[in-house]
Structure 1
Amino acid sequence: MDVAVGIVAQRDNERAQALAASLVDALEREGASVVVDDATGGAVGTSAVPVAAMAGRDLVVSIGGDGTLLFVAREVGSTPILGINLGEVGFLNAVAPDDALGVVTELAAELDETGSVEERELTRLRATGVEADWTLEPALNEIVVHGPRRGSGGGATVGIDIDGQRYAESHADGVLVATPTGSTAYNLSEGGPLVHPSAETLVVAQMAATEPMPPLVVEPETEITLTVSETETAYAISDGRNRQRLDPPAEVSVSLANDAVRLVGPQANFFDGLDKLE
């Protein structure tokens, strides 16, 4: 079998590590080339590499919750990913642990025979400085622009321009732009709408604005500019992880990233996942 597979197990999760070991054994018996992430290598006893080094392999298997898959997606870009769900909700991870061996080996066999498998693309966003030379790592869930901190006295005045026209301007904790994937995450907690995964849209939502406008749903190619003022410090944040400090007044452009995330294998049931949200 001429297939290269990477396996990433959730950190410090013995169940994930045990499943990774079983997958390594099954795939290597079929002749696949398999590596695991360097945090798992010692527990599994096989070849280990940084997750970023798995970019370009035929398949990367993420074992854990949606947070683990988000991390994997940041590291491997457009490399096909299969998610095995050890979390509670699992909007991105569709495969149950009991089904993992069968699904992964079948996918590897299909890749070996045909060179491809059915996949779906998930939109990612990028934030860039309009008059500053910086770009955040792409976000699968959302881009957030906010003041120095959340809550009383910590916000900023944020203007929202859509294709060059002002939609809203208000003192607020911040503003977020979410993909359909991210609509069930930070966006939902801020009162934004749920977006079905098949919809080709983005959501722009204010966070605790003093003069609020309703969350706005726009096409993915829309030109979105967020202008931050009336604060000494602000931040642009990608998926709650990658952060860029801003020196207001500052403008942030939010647009589609060049590379989407490619998910393969069974798809999660969106409505079943909603039942598990708290």
Structure 2
Amino acid sequence: MDVAVGIVAQRDNERAQELAASLVDALEREGASVVVDEATGGAIGATAVPVDAMAGRDIVVSIGGDGTLLFVAREVGAAPIIGVNLGEVGFLNAVAPEDALGVVTEVVADLAETGTVEGRELARLRATGVDDDWTLEPALNEVLVHGPRRGHGGGATIEVRVDGQKYVESHADGVLVATPTGSTAYNLSEGGPLVHPTADALVVTQMAATEAMPPLVVEPDSEITLSVTGTDTGYAISDGRNRQRLDPPATVSVSLAADPVTLVGPQANFFDGLDKLE
């Protein structure tokens, strides 16, 4: 089969752009159809499209840190992703830059020959308004609900229910619902537990709560509702980027999104990544 490949390089990163150029040359020599993101295309003179136009590609290569891969995952839908790590930790990006040419060309060659590619699915979260008609973009790391701002005088009263059963209600800076992937991100900085990436679970973690309960690990198919009161304004945020203003009293429902992210190629070593955390 003819393989369609998209490449997204970290913006304003010369090293990422140079690697993207090398990948374009190598893949086109092998007969693949290759496009890059618009910023990279302007820098290296390659065929370019908006990142969201790569949603129909057979494989998308993300070159950068975990933040770049999170951005790519938001934009390309169900397209399988290979992560090339130019960042510090690399929980999502398993491929070292020096190995990228060999790994990516091998994966593309296997796909061309067999029509299939092996990968690991990563759960995403879907946040919707219970009383209002809105839905945030799926979150690979976490959904956060908080008051008008972090810190003194900026919190809210947030009630947490799991499948309709009340877990806790307290004044807090906010509440996080994290996937196993997101357990090493914002969740960890707020005292939440590490969750192995292969675990089938979600984590609920309060942030600076006055009446705190321990972080709660629940089944992935649970419906978690976060009800906000005691403030004039609140926010629901997906992966720190997509934001919905709340007008309390307001309730946010968080559950698994229908479409996971698929990572292909070598997988990152979770415990090696932990050694790099500060």
Same fold (TM over 0.5): yes
The amino acid across from 2:5 in the alignment is V
2:221 paired with 1:221? yes
The answer to whether 1:209 aligns with 2:209 is: yes
Deviation at 1:173, TM superposition (A): 0.1
Q: CA deviation at 1:56?
A: 1.4
Establish whether residue 9 from structure 1 lines up as the match of residue 9 from structure 2.
Answer: yes
Q: Could you list the per-position Cα deviations for residues 43-70 of structure 1 after superposition, in whole angstroms to 9, with x for gaps in the alignment?
A: 1111000000000111000000000000
Deviation at 1:186, TM superposition (A): 0.2
C-alpha distance in 1 between matches for 2:39 and 2:206 = 38
Alignment partner of 2:266: what SS? Answer: coil
Moved more, 130-139 or 39-48: 39-48
Take 2:137 and 2:59, find their aligned partners in 1: how far apart are those partners? 22
Give the match for residue 77 of structure 2. Answer: 77
Q: Which aligned segments of 4 or more residues in structure 1 are displaced greater than 4 angstroms?
A: none
Which residue identity lines up with residue 199 of structure 2 in the other structure? A
Per-residue Cα deviation, 1:157-210 (whole angstroms, up to 9, x for no partner): 000001111100000000000000000000000000000001000000100000
Instruction: Output aligned runs, 1:68-217, within 5 Å.
Output: 68-217=68-217
The residue matched to 2:100 in structure 1 has which SS? helix
Unaligned 5+ segments in structure 2 are none
Q: Please give the alpha-carbon distance, in whole angstroms, between the structure 1 residues aligned to 2:123 and 2:251.
A: 23
> TM-score normalised to the size of structure 2?
0.99
Counterpart amino acid of residue 97 in structure 1: P
Q: Counterparts of 2:60 and 2:116 in 1: how far apart (Å)?
A: 14
C-alpha deviation, 1:77, in angstroms: 1.3
Q: Report the CA distance between 1:15 and its aligned residue.
A: 0.1
Q: For 1:87 and 1:261, how far apart are their aligned partners in 2? A: 20
User: Residues 27-49 of structure 1: CA distance to partner in whole angstroms, max 9, x if unpaired?
Assistant: 01111100000010011111000
Size of the alignment, in residue pairs?
278
Equivalent-residue separation in structure 1 for 2:77 and 2:200 (angstroms): 20
Question: Percent identity between the aligned chains?
Answer: 83
Structure 1 Cα separation of the partners of residues 167 and 87 of structure 2: 38
* CA–CA distance in structure 1, aligned partners of residues 229 and 273 of structure 2: 38
Show the counterpart of 1:56.
56
Name the residue aligned to 1:271. 271
Q: Name the aligned partner's letter for residue 129 of structure 2.
A: G
**TM-score for the superposition, normalised by structure 1:** 0.99
Q: Distance in 2 between matches of 1:45 and 1:31?
A: 19
How far apart are the structure 1 equivalents of 2:43 and 2:133?
Answer: 42
Q: Which amino acid aligns with 1:23?
A: L
The equivalent of 2:19 in structure 1 is 19
